Structure 1
Amino acid sequence: MTETMPVLDTDLSGLTVQDWHEGLDRIGDEHGYYERLGPEHAALFIDAGPRLLVTFETRDAIRRTPRALPRGFDAVARSGWSLLALISDGDGLFRAPRVWGYVDRLVDEGFFEDFERVLFYGHHAGGYAAAAYSVAAPGARVLALRPLATLDPEIAGWDRRHLGSRRLDFTSRYGYAPDMVDAASHVTILHDPHHAADAIHAALFRRSNVTSLRAAHAGTRLEQILDQAGAIAPLLDLAMEDRLDRTAFARLWRARRNNAAYLRGLMRQLESANRPEQLARLCRHGLTTPEAQQFARKLEALSAPARPASAAISRVG
């Protein structure tokens, strides 16, 4: 591995898809490699240090970031970690024989054995992939946000969110994620316990090496909220160091109190539940945030006296 940290100041934002792939290819040529794994997947390796971050991301999510670079680039620049970014042009589940074959090849070559520590990371479908493929690196750490356990209809037939992905094979190689984490050193799962589908998937991860952390009322925006709060980087650092426990997460999760996405989601939940007193308290707190104007309008509407119903006008035929 290289002894000096590569300078990764590339900006791939605003490019066509083809030019974006070519940009990643150039980065791979300079700092490691970039390999297409069939028409829908790719792998980018950055050789930078003795610790390895493995991420599972979608092309669209990456291209929405400010520089259109995989998430792990920040970890490379900040901590000098190496990065293996698995990229999907589609659903992010990475259920393709070319991907299985690529990971098998890494195992055969002893790739993961070259690193003193390995951390697998992913969100939702990527969280499924991070857990499922962690079996390739025994002793690795896993940080999975809202992970799916499987979409096999025999097990997860109740989950109606990803119907198109049920045709994929979840019963063969790297298939059932809760079984694939057996060899991991530690697995940390973050999810909203009030989001029923996510909570059921999280509950399927029952091994003794799994810690489940509750991010109440985050819903499907968990990664977005953590990103906006600047919490992803410290979460990755803590997970790599085996220091991500409930107390450490609680400290980071406090930042949600001033997060616009979190507060808007909680406001909608309280409105739907018809809890005006709690909603008013939330809006008063919202007045101290950058979204103050929105919460002020809602608070004013809550404080306005109810209008009497218009009297019905009878018409004699």
Structure 2
Amino acid sequence: MQDTPNILDTSLAGLDKAGWLSRVADIAEEAGHFVPLGKKHVAAFIDEGNTLLVSFETLQGIRALSDEARPLGWDMAREMGWSSLSVISDGDTWFRDRNVYGYFDQLIDDGFLEEFDNVIFYGAGPCGYAAAAFSVASPGATVLAIQPQATLDPRVSEWDERFTHMRRTSFTDRYGYAPDMLDAAQHAFILYDPQVELDAMHTALFTRPNVTKFRTRFLGSSIQSELLELNLLKPILARVGKGTLDPVSFARLMRARRDHPPYLRAVLATIDRQDRPWLATLLCRNVLARLDSAPRFSRRLKQLQREAADGNIRIPPEQA
């Protein structure tokens, strides 16, 4: 096998879809294996360490979220010394494809997943659904799923009208109802923003003794992207791999949000919707005292001060 870390440093940016897939196939075949799974899916395995990260990703997401257009699993394999199995779809398919089922059936029959000391399944959104659903192929695995759907079977989730185009797709056959597929997992961690109502409703369906839910308020409907911007996704996955992720360690990691402008703006917007000028003033002062540049908070504080001077609102006095 080639020197895997050097292989995984390869930039895939700037390639068209066909060129990207061809290059991924070449790299995976050098360092593990590459398997086309019908028209919409491929699997790329990189053999590196005794921990295996099974990541579900979309081709479009990879190219949008990575400057080098590399699968997330490859970056983890390089940095953590893990092996990577990237199952990649062309578009959001929820991986509902008999070719994908057959691939995992073959992995089970071959005892492939049993060769690793530690197996982690990861995905976000439709890929989070897949991470939970296919984790049943590796009893004792750990799952990290961000904003996963439990199912798109309209008999269960007819209240979710975001994905009505998927309602004719079967979610009741193989690897179907994601919460049930977690029964064999050692543990699963679900990340969601409770203010995104439909995500919270799906998360409620994952209530199981071996599932821990982490609320990520004010990160909205793109939690994976926010975690990448905060440089938190890899530390979270690293703790999953070490078996040290718990509510306390997660909360400590998430304190990085305090310096993240999109998060702070979302907090301010919520406070303003609640018409709480006193609290908005405290937030603006805190942010401006800590961050070098926060123009929105500066403007909002000046506006609050003007309204207070006119006698329309009350705000906290300036500290001496």
Q: Same fold (TM over 0.5)?
A: yes
Equivalent runs, 1:184-195 vs 2, <5 Å: 184-195=185-196
1:6 paired to 2:2: no
Distance 1:236 1:79, change over 3 A: same
Q: Give 2:250's aligned amino acid.
A: F
1:160 paired to 2:161: yes
Q: Distance in 2 between matches of 1:225 and 1:289?
A: 19
Asked whether the equivalents of residues 221 and 261 of structure 1 are also in contact (C-alpha less than 8 Å), the reply is: no
Partner of 1:234: 235
Partner of 2:208: 207
Instruction: Name the count of aligned residue pairs.
Output: 307
Q: Give 1:298's aligned amino acid.
A: R
Partner of 2:144: 143
1:277: Cα distance to partner?
Answer: 3.0
Partner of 1:303: 305
Q: Which moved more, 1:90-99 or 1:177-186?
A: 90-99
Q: Distance in 1 between matches of 2:15 and 2:129?
A: 29
1:279: Cα distance to partner?
Answer: 2.9
Asked whether the equivalents of residues 56 and 92 of structure 1 are also in contact (C-alpha less than 8 Å), the reply is: no
Q: Distance in 2 between matches of 1:18 and 1:296?
A: 48
Q: Distance in 2 between matches of 1:301 and 1:38?
A: 58
Partner of 2:59: 59
Q: Distance in 1 between matches of 2:221 and 2:117?
A: 33
Q: Distance in 1 between matches of 2:108 and 2:137?
A: 6
Unaligned runs of 5+ in 1: 308-317
Asked whether the equivalents of residues 127 and 148 of structure 1 are also in contact (C-alpha less than 8 Å), the reply is: yes
Partner of 1:15: 15
Q: Give 1:87's aligned amino acid.
A: I
Partner of 2:318: none
1:91: Cα distance to partner?
Answer: 0.9
Q: Distance in 2 between matches of 1:289 and 1:244?
A: 29
Q: Compute the RMSD of aligned alpha carbons.
A: 2.0
- What is the TM-score with the length of structure 2 in the denominator? 0.90
Q: Give 1:132's aligned amino acid.
A: A
Q: Distance in 2 between matches of 1:304 and 1:90?
A: 50
Partner of 2:252: 251
Q: Give 2:269's aligned amino acid.
A: R
Q: Which moved more, 1:293-302 or 1:117-126?
A: 293-302
1:107: Cα distance to partner?
Answer: 0.9
Asked whether the equivalents of residues 151 and 170 of structure 1 are also in contact (C-alpha less than 8 Å), the reply is: yes
CA-to-aligned-CA distance 1:142-181 (integer Å, 9 cap, x gap): 0111111111111111112222122211111111000000
Partner of 1:314: none
Q: Distance in 2 between matches of 1:14 and 1:291?
A: 33
1:18: Cα distance to partner?
Answer: 1.2
Q: Which moved more, 1:194-203 or 1:124-133?
A: 194-203
Q: Tell me the SS of whatever aligns to 1:39.
A: coil
Q: Distance in 1 between matches of 2:90 and 2:114?
A: 28
CA-to-aligned-CA distance 1:99-131 (integer Å, 9 cap, x gap): 111111111111101111100011121111100
Q: Distance in 2 between matches of 1:235 and 1:192?
A: 17
Partner of 1:222: 223
Partner of 2:286: 285
CA-to-aligned-CA distance 1:268-303 (integer Å, 9 cap, x gap): 333333333333333333323355123212323333
Q: Distance in 1 between matches of 2:300 and 2:166?
A: 39
Q: Give 1:15's aligned amino acid.
A: L
1:188: Cα distance to partner?
Answer: 1.0
Q: Give 1:14's aligned amino acid.
A: G
Asked whether the equivalents of residues 188 and 212 of structure 1 are also in contact (C-alpha less than 8 Å), the reply is: yes
Q: Distance in 2 between matches of 1:18 and 1:266?
A: 42
Partner of 1:78: 79
Distance 1:281 1:200, change over 3 A: same
Asked whether the equivalents of residues 131 and 181 of structure 1 are also in contact (C-alpha less than 8 Å), the reply is: yes
Partner of 1:313: none
Q: Which moved more, 1:3-12 or 1:194-203?
A: 3-12
Q: Give 2:94's aligned amino acid.
A: L
| Runs of 4 or more consecutive aligned structure 1 residues displaced over 6 Å after TM superposition | none
Q: Give 2:298's aligned amino acid.
A: A
- What is the TM-score with the length of structure 1 in the denominator? 0.91
Percent sequence identity over aligned pairs = 46
Equivalent runs, 1:66-145 vs 2, <5 Å: 66-145=67-146
Partner of 1:311: none
